[in-house]
Chains A and B, each alone.
Chain A
Amino acid sequence: MALRLYHKQAPPLGDLEREVMEVLWHDGASTAQDIHEQLSDARGMTLSTVQSTVERLSRKQLVHREKCGRAYRYRALLSRQQLLARLVAELVTDFSSTAPRAGVGVVDLSAGVDDSTLRQLEAWVADTRRARRLEDGA
């Protein structure tokens, strides 16, 4: 597959899973207790909800867990940028397929215009602009 950097599909994230990932991206490796402290005020959730959420993220291979004393510490395996890059790549692939697509992009990310064509088009626009300025001046 041509998408070498984004060879894995971005797994679906629920609201709670996304919030946990946001904590891990912001604070780095954390225990479920740490994450709970960050989220409990805003969401009023229990520690066991947080624990099951990070376990789910671990199964989705979005976080790595390592034993730290009696608890596990969780670390995000994908940065926010990497996850976004996967999502965008998948959407672009969806949009460029012949199947029904639910979006469009300003430039066709899948079309592959080569550099020399691009330079020729830029020169064409620059020449036109110059010619129009000359006409306006005259």
Chain B
Amino acid sequence: MRKSIFAVAMAACGLFATSAIAADYPERDVTLIVQSSPGGGSDIIARTIARIVNEGKLSSTQMLVENKPGGGGAIAYNYVAQRKGDPYVMGTIATSFFVAPLMGQSPAKVEDFQPIAVIAGDPFILVVEAKSGIATLDDIKAKKVLRIGNTGPVTDPALLAVSLGNELGIEVRPVPFNGDGEVTTALLGGHIDLQFGNASEVMAQIEAGRLNPIAVTSPERLASLPDVPTFKELGSDIELMLYRGVVMPKDMPAEAVAFWEDVMKKVSESDIWKTQYVERNNSVPLYWDADEFARRVPEISKLYADYLTTIQK
């Protein structure tokens, strides 16, 4: 919906900024565009990052957070992608960053962005209702038919459900709901058998003994659940996390990339990030710089592309 004249004007500003970029970058406030509404997962991350940057004076100017929800993230991604060369715009990403262009829902492709850094990964925990009598992957295998809740066919939990079914050779029936809350409710009520839950959302249920964890999708065990094995340990190939990071538009001057890469590294190492985000949400702390992130983007994108071809058959 952004009008072209507006875009051209902004692009002109961007070009100007590119040529003028110097030691005193950034000269203006930087806007971090969030693809979810306030209160959503990416929003919490964005606001935490902005707080660390502003309170710790990691940048000479302020970092502002702006929500552009809608279109399954497409509206925000397109907004960022269109501001080519503008070093004062960046955006948060989620699974939709990779999936929306593959589904033909967003004109902005993953190649239209300059990756900056990934600073955490949110793992998924396979959980069952406590009284279901399921305790291990073998119990699941013995069931033959399983109903797994997810939040739509092109989400991480759905992808994980299909991979699990293929590996164990059982029939999975992926039941889509409107949100993780509804999935957990259905699981607690015994209407479905399994859920690949986001750690932050199912941890309270695990602590209360309402849900039992079977395995986690992170590369290593979670600090908060030291007794729960990873899928890899159980001899499975499943490994997937929701990568939390930031991207900028393409054609970014190298100075800007280096500057924000460095800021994000400091963010990921800060105490506030570790206590307010990583610990609180049971995330996995990690840091990918711009090069590593750029190298991983096609890999992750291919993972989803392969999955999409399997479910569309």
**Genuine A/B complex:** no
